[in-house]
Amino acid sequence: MPITINNVTANNQITIINDSDVNESDVNNGPAKFSGNTEADVIIDRVAHKNLTAHDVIPSNIHALQFNPNTNTGEIEYTDSTSNLQLASADDIPSWANTMITRWKTEEDIQNPPAE
């Protein structure tokens, strides 16, 4: 069953990968091991927008969030010894993920402007 978060409808998949690869536009940004800002890749229903600013909202110990709207379940994976957190419903999706979905939508609208 599709879910809608901040005017974005996801039918099959929401994936947020924190600490993404080096940003080709700014090689200092991307992975946390660099001195620039940590960025994230956000994929919704196979549409990926990479290197979105994330350092200001995603906790530094988060590796990824995965959510399947069809089963209404998901998981948050950590970079430290914290056990993965199971998401039992869309209500469990944290606010930082909502912010990243909004950033994905902004990038989607820039690259593929809505029809007027």
Q: How confident is the model at residue 51 (pLDDT cuts 50, 70, 90)?
A: confident
pLDDT tens-digit readout, 86-113 = 999 999 999 999 999 999 999 999 998 8
**pLDDT value of residue 15:** 97
Residue 92 DSSP code: G
CA distance 98 to 41: 14
More confident residue, 27 or 67: 67
104, 13 contact by CB (below 8 A): no
Write down the pTM of the prediction. Answer: 0.86
Identity at 77, one-letter amino acid code: E
Average pLDDT, the chain: 88
Distance CA 100, CA 23 (A): 17
Region 2-24: mean pLDDT is: 86
